[in-house]
A and B are shown apart, each in its own frame.
Chain A
Amino acid sequence: MAKYIQGATGEWEVVIGLEIHAQVLSEAKLFSGSSTKFGAEPNTQVSFVCSAMPGMLPVINEECIRQAIRTGLAMGCEINLRSVFDRKNYFYADLPQGYQISQFKDPIVGEGVMEITLDDGSTKSIGVERLHLEQDAGKSMHDQHPSQTYVDLNRCGVALMEIVSKPDMRSAEEAGAYFRKIRTLVRYAGTCDGNMDQGSMRADVNVSVRRPGAELGTRSETKNVNSIRFMMQVIDFETRRQIDILEDGGEVAQETRQFDPATGTTSSLRSKEEAHDYRYFPDPDLLPLEFSQDYVDELAKNMPELPDAKKARFVEDLGISDYNAAVLVAEKENADYFEDLLVELSAKCGQDKAKIATQAANWVIVDLFGALKKAGKPIIDSPISTAHGAELLALQVDGTISGRIAKDVFEIMIETGQAPEQIVEEKGLKQVSDTGAIEAMIDEILAENQDKVEQYRGGKDKLFGFFVGQVMKKTQGKANPQVVNQLLRPKLDG
């Protein structure tokens, strides 16, 4: 279903392509043995190779090769058994070699297709053009001194994967869904931490507009956008800007632009005429990168379960709803939490996972995520461990506490991090399932409320809930609701 944008002179279609830069998770840099750790003192994670001292040479890090292949496998892309490293030549203060080692004609990963799911539940296929390995640049700081720029090369030479999409996206929403999907995939595969605050993932956003069905329009490329929200702002702004130009009879310039998060706008960085001539050629310090299909197969065999497969398994094997499954797999840590919890819960109450999965999923999504969101905490900082969560759910499953009591216990757990069994024990919250005691209580209540009993019997069915409530009140919520129901109904019906 095409989403067209209504302009003053008719409908327009936006065409979007993304180049996502994802930092490879590795200990050392792509071509040198210095560390990739974030946040070190300036120029302390720099070797003679990173700083392009005369006579220094690159040697490739095998982990970066593995991670690129694994990312390609995760995205379902073709893996190229032979690829070539090229030099991309340009001058910049934080590019000490005067060239970036990248892959131009022959990337390590080739084409593939990614399926994205949109808010309305519909799906769409987005083509992936390629993934290639390249070196990151250093960092220039322009605001530390009135007339000088400071250069820190700590990041220089860290491995990046550049993932290039086809121009298949037609809205900011689609681009957002695609970016999120890639981010989820690399995080599942463990090839990139997806940490956008630290610049581990960022995108160059290509936007053009055209009349529906027309040839592709001239595109702008907005560089280095470092959040999904900003990316969507860029797309919306660029779409409006380009439509305005075209509707005023102007022409969109092919140019590189930059995004200003403060204003949510983009501005020109350089025009096509000023564009770099990168003079790519194969790096003579390196040989072509070659590996066997067996090597790729071995990596494929050891890939972790990916979100789509996990979601399908949650739905098919565990009977979890489509929606809940999608929520759980969206972040790897959430899915991991859920799965660990389920294993422990199943072991505790001796029940099959499928039987208790829905209850566990609901608790994780509604109760736990709700509380974490309120506290502004990520799941890895959850005050409730998977063991405690499983214990709490098990107490409900085996009837030790009611659902209502469970909510109270949960609040205490969030506050104190205490174990639920301990809370139940200390506060005497165990559910009363003793039929004799409950029956006596029911009799008492019926006697005290003769008028209501009459009304009920006169056809006011809704009063059943009132009597249940009275029993619960008397037991401070500890009566087993099922037992109460079973005993109350015959007595009322007389």
Chain B
Amino acid sequence: MSVDIKTVAKIADLARIAVREEELAPLAGELNNILDWIEQLSEVNTDGVAPMTSVVEVDLPWRADKVTDGGYRDDILANAPSTEHGFFSVPKVIE
């Protein structure tokens, strides 16, 4: 499986990374090198093998239903590039 320029543009869009037109071809080349190399995995027979879900055998811990966090808005907003009236502020979303 290899990617063409169109696919690279689509992936970049999904990943929300701006890529200039002239960068697409070299990027496709780089990605294809890696994908070709990864391709060797297809020779491994994985019939009936369960995918790894966790490397250690432990149970998912459950926490009690208690309010133990929150209530520090200043700390939440402290690093934000733009805030207004206690909100995060972003360029207007048009739908």
Contacts and interface: CB of A to CB of B under 8 A. Distances in A.
A and B touch in the complex (CB under 8 A): yes
Interface in B62-76: 62-71, 73, 75-76
Top 8 closest pairs, chain A to chain B, by CB:
A34-B70, A63-B65, A33-B69, A33-B68, A150-B87, A62-B62, A47-B69, A151-B88
Given A145-B84, A289-B60, A34 B93 contact: no
Size range of the interface on A? 35 or more
Interface of B: 14, 16, 53-54, 58-71, 73, 75-77, 82, 84-93, 95
Contacts of A417: none
B54 A149 contact: no
A282 B82 CA distance: 33
Contacts of B60: 60, 286-290
A426 interface: no
B88 A47 contact: no
A125 to B, nearest CB: 34
Given A27-B67, A28-B67, A65 B62 contact: yes
Given A27-B67, A150-B85, A43 B90 contact: no
Given A42-B87, A289-B60, 13 more contacts: A28-B67, A46-B73, A47-B70, A48-B69, A59-B63, A61-B63, A61-B64, A65-B62, A93-B90, A142-B93, A145-B92, A146-B92, A150-B85
A222 interface: no
30 contacts: A28-B68, A33-B63, A33-B66, A33-B69, A34-B71, A35-B70, A41-B73, A43-B86, A43-B88, A44-B73, A46-B70, A48-B75, A59-B63, A60-B61, A60-B63, A61-B62, A62-B64, A63-B64, A84-B53, A93-B90, A144-B85, A145-B89, A146-B92, A150-B88, A151-B88, A151-B89, A152-B86, A153-B88, A282-B53, A290-B60
* Chain B interface, >50% SS class: loop
A147 B93 contact: no
A240 B70 CA distance: 47
A42 B86 contact: yes
A141 interface: yes
Interface in A28-80: 28, 32-35, 41-51, 59-65
Contact of B65 (A28, A44, A84, A144): A28
A34 B67 contact: yes
A140 B95 CA distance: 12
Nearest to B79: A53
Interface of A: 26-28, 32-35, 41-51, 59-65, 84, 91, 93, 140-142, 144-153, 258, 269, 277, 279, 282, 286-290
Contacts of A149: 89-93
A43 B61 contact: no
A26 B65 contact: yes
A147 B91 contact: yes
Contacts of A93: 88, 90, 93
Nearest to A34: B70
B90 A33 contact: no
Contacts of B59: 287, 290
Which of B14, B63, B67, B70 is the most central at the interface, judged by chain A CB atoms within 10 Å of its CB? B70
Contacts of B76: 43, 46, 48, 51, 153
Contacts of A289: 60
B70 A27 contact: no
B49 to A, nearest CB: 16
Contact of B87 (A33, A43, A286, A287): A43
Contact of B73 (A43, A144, A150, A286): A43
A93 B85 CA distance: 17
B30 to A, nearest CB: 21
A147 B92 contact: yes
Nearest to A258: B95
Contacts of B77: 43
Contacts of A277: 14
A84 to B, nearest CB: 7
Contacts of A28: 65-69
Nearest to B65: A63
A46 B75 CA distance: 10
Contacts of A51: 76
Contacts of A140: 93
B70 A152 contact: no
Nearest to B82: A148
B71 A45 contact: yes
Contacts of B14: 277, 279
Contacts of A144: 84-85, 87
Nearest to A154: B70
A361 B57 CA distance: 57
B54 A62 contact: no
